[in-house]
Amino acid sequence: MAQTATGLPERAERGLNLMLDAGEVLSAERLGELLKRAEEGHFRPLEAQARRGLGIVGRDPAMLTRSLAIWEDMKAVPYAARVRCERALLTGDHAEFDAGLAVLERLGDRLQVGRYERRQVG
């Protein structure tokens, strides 16, 4: 994954997104480094992805809420829906899970819908 110091924060954000979507996570230490670089560089998409990863790794609903707020502020509907599902899986909020899943279904993101449905059952 690209380092944000290389001037390619978009590649780091996209790589992290793909990893998180697939259920693969980096260490909290590495995610913390990415978050710091994102904040220093004012790159909000990478900040939101790093917070998403930290929320998943640390089982931290507050970190996921912070990620969600960034995605919603940027009107990044697919990413907000993912974070809603992840936070709902963590907290057991069935209504929020269904709402996030409904957005992904409307967007035609069948792959991610299937991933979340498997995690819900498993």
pLDDT tens, residue by residue, 13-30? 999 999 999 999 899 999
Tell me the average pLDDT of the chain. 92
Q: What is the pTM of this model?
A: 0.91
Instruction: Determine contact, residues 91/69, Cβ cutoff 8 Å.
Output: no
d(CA 118, CA 22): 12
What integer pLDDT is reported at residue 4 of this predicted model?
44
| H or E segment and range at residue 92 | none
Phi, psi dihedral angles at 28 (to 5 degrees): -60, -35
Q: 38: domain range? A: 4-121
Q: Are residues 9 and 46 in contact, defined by beta-carbon separation less than 8 angstroms? A: yes
Q: How far is CA 33 from CA 53, 81, 111, in A?
A: 12, 25, 29
84 with 100: CB under 8 angstroms? yes
The model's pLDDT over 42-65, given as tens digits with 9 standing for 90+, comes to 999 999 999 999 999 999 999 999
Report the pLDDT value the prediction gives residue 3, as an integer from 0 to 100: 46
List of residues 6+ apart from 72 with CB closer than 8 A: 80
Number of domains composing the chain: 1
Residue 1 pLDDT more than 80?
A: no
